[in-house]
Structure 1
């Protein structure tokens, strides 16, 4: 079976975690015996990376990574959120597809990730070549009401022609069924990164001076740190020994440091900056619980990363965590609610003996581990190819 992956965004190089879950899934498929290739236009943001207009590089880059031939087309979004830049992205994708086929042959099936733009490119390729495609949707733009009217026609055409439509949480399936009227979606979660499934003895974790919550995400408005920090300040009034360690960087970095200072909680909160996967793993193994107060999540890989390390989780009812967080492994609270989040921090700490780290880990691996998720994806591929050949 030969599968070509078309992600709508992808890591641009070592150290880049943007779209890393697409990369991890591709590598897991390869390990499971599937012939895999990746083509990915990687367009940088003028707002997020303005200096890269001169230093980021342009054009095709090809390499083999973890036995996967990978083709990137590096460029810049010069006209963001316009049809012009979508057309440029699709043109780059076609260039990569034609080169990939010349050098590696025609794939049996295409797996696109996110309708806009990968799904649209997969639909165009299908229309010209007849290669069937499946799509997994990850984008939070639906919940955030950021899909523009001019984008919808092409997205709907692509959705109608998908041989299988997958969403990464059950709540997200329901949302997408309302967005794409008359089309069914099925739930297959994102995969737990392989490093987080490596053997780990939770019983021998180092003991912290104070009970430590960790949190890892981009420091931006959507991740809700402006809610978490005041909630943590409230929790500290009842339990002054609590600690909070935050990994990540982003546009809100300076504002969050200032908010921490204003709240007077600098001795209890540590900002760790940008973390690589190994550093996230180490942080979780040195912490007692995980918390994130997102406003929107379609899935949230970081929640299953935490559970895999035996950490109970506090999350908001923002979409993806609704499928992941249960009374057995953590607490769910409403979004935008400082009081409820503060109460959850206190409740989890005071009832920390309720959670068995080994059980949390085992249940996480059973549902989100490589064997389970890749088995479901391969079953979808087989069903699509059987239908195409009949």
Structure 2
């Protein structure tokens, strides 16, 4: 690999536990989007995808499995092209069940060091995704003179902070890194509450969202419903399906596509049959980001009934694809859509029932299309979360002009009355 002293000041490494792969094309799509947005402003970008591989061997066999992995690693390691001219190195990280997040981070750190032959990451700037498996791994492997930044996306941050060893490690990451970015003020405020002495280091910069693709024809009816995301209880998918059945009873032309993997897939299919709507409800399973974008351009309405969300990236992607949205006030969306809620769709309170979702749909249907202004929504959201906006913010931090101070407090999304910024999907 290239030695650090031969690199330019605009050489960047990205350290991440998630990145799309053939088995999980959706995993880490937000990291890929950031690379695609920021790489054109860099001399070179290398992505280190440190992917956990769970071992289920008996305890006495784990050491032997790791030794075999160590011997095979030189054969497996190579870089391949990824988006925007960047290079991608996939590094399997053998782990075992029941690790804490801090223990997982130590494994990611050790195996990246092994892959690098004990040498530092060959980059002047290192940007990590998530605090421990990304941030700690980057800090422990970066060159002493490198600038290390961390972006936090995780909706499970409370689980991390509830573990004493992980909380302590997280505090060290905040203290040691050059800059730390939360993708929404929900995450920023939670971390500031947990680490008040370091709250001044936590800034807002969202993950970028592309507004480049357009749909062939505008939405004229709100009949083809779409959900994109994981099929888990936190996403409110049970209530969504029941609400769809209620609305379908009023309008038999309604259809619903549920795109995404999850533990509730089987239960939801059974429930659709019970409700008598299994012939108009489609479960696609996991979809790649390109396929999700295509679905958005071919459907009429995104319905997102999450109980909690640090951002809700599919909501912004739907507006970018020219779709109205019906979304709960679940944390992130009321901030990301601040000032344009009525222009892009309908927001409803989080309630443990389907009736509120169905009622929200009826209100939206009754004022569509004259009560919406999707063009305005797209312009505002592009200014907040588009590739150019987010890339410029990162570049100001990564490559500060002499005397510029590194772009401190460079918040993306908080512009006048347009609201705040953020993104999740971990």
Please, what TM-score do these two structures have when normalized by structure 1?
Answer: 0.85
When normalised by structure 2's length, the TM-score is 0.78
**Among residues 357, 369, 373, which one is paired with 2:390 in the alignment?**
373
- For 2:239 and 2:190, locate their aligned partners in 1 and report how far apart those are by CA, in whole Å: 25
Report if the CA contact (8 A) 1:310-1:360 is conserved: no
Q: Give me the CA root mean square deviation.
A: 2.8
Residue 219 of structure 1 and its aligned partner are, at CA, apart by 1.8
Contact 1:333 1:344 in 2 (8 A): yes
Question: What residue is the counterpart of 2:280 in the other structure?
Answer: 268
Q: Partner residue of 1:135?
A: 150
Aligned to 2:113: 94
Q: Is the 8 A contact 2:160 2:166 kept in 1?
A: no
**Which residue number in structure 1 is paired with residue 377 of structure 2?**
360
| Structure 1: gaps spanning 5 or more residues | 48-52
The 2-side partners of 1:384 and 1:135 are apart by 20
Is it true that 1:72 corresponds to 2:94 in the alignment? no
Query: More displaced, 115-124 or 37-46?
Result: 37-46
Contact 2:13 2:126 (8 Å CA) reproduced: yes
In structure 2, relative to structure 1, the CA distance for the partners of 1:144 and 1:239 (3 Å cut) is: farther
**Counterpart of 1:120?**
136
* CA–CA separation in structure 2 for the residues paired with 1:239 and 1:350: 14
Q: Distance in 1 between matches of 2:16 and 2:363?
A: 40
Structure 1 match to 2:323 = 311
SS at 2:343's partner residue? Answer: coil
Label 1:225 to 1:214 Cα distance change in 2 as closer, same or farther (>3 A): same
Q: Which runs of 5 or more structure 2 residues have no equivalent in the other structure?
A: 1-9, 57-64, 407-426
SS in 1 for 2:150: strand
Alpha carbons 2:161, 2:167 under 8 Å: kept: no
1:222 to 234, 245, 248: 234
Distance 1:188 1:145 in 2: 21
Q: Contact 2:342–2:372 (CA<8 Å) still a contact in 1?
A: no
Would you identify which runs of 4 or more consecutive aligned residues in structure 1 move more than 6 Å? Answer: none
Q: Secondary structure at the match of 1:5?
A: strand
CA distance in 1: counterparts of 2:41 and 2:114, whole angstroms: 28
CA distance in 2: counterparts of 1:39 and 1:100, whole angstroms: 14
Equivalences for 1:1-390 in 2 at 5 Å?
A: 1-13=10-22, 16-45=25-54, 59=73, 60-66=76-82, 67-82=85-100, 84-98=103-117, 106-125=122-141, 129-143=144-158, 147-182=162-197, 183-184=199-200, 185-193=202-210, 197-198=212-213, 200=214, 204-205=217-218, 211-325=223-337, 326-338=341-353, 339-353=355-369, 354-383=371-400, 387=405
CA distance 1:144–1:262, change in 2 (3 Å): farther
Does 256-265 or 29-38 show the bigger shift?
29-38
Higher relative contact order (CA 8 A, sep 6+): 2
The SS at the match of 2:78 is strand
Aligned partners of 1:21 and 1:190 also within 8 Å: yes
User: 1:10 and 1:147, CA in 2 relative to 1: closer, same or farther beyond 3 A?
Assistant: farther
Q: Distance in 1 between matches of 2:96 and 2:129?
A: 23
Tell me the distance in 2 between the aligned counterparts of 1:31 and 1:224.
38
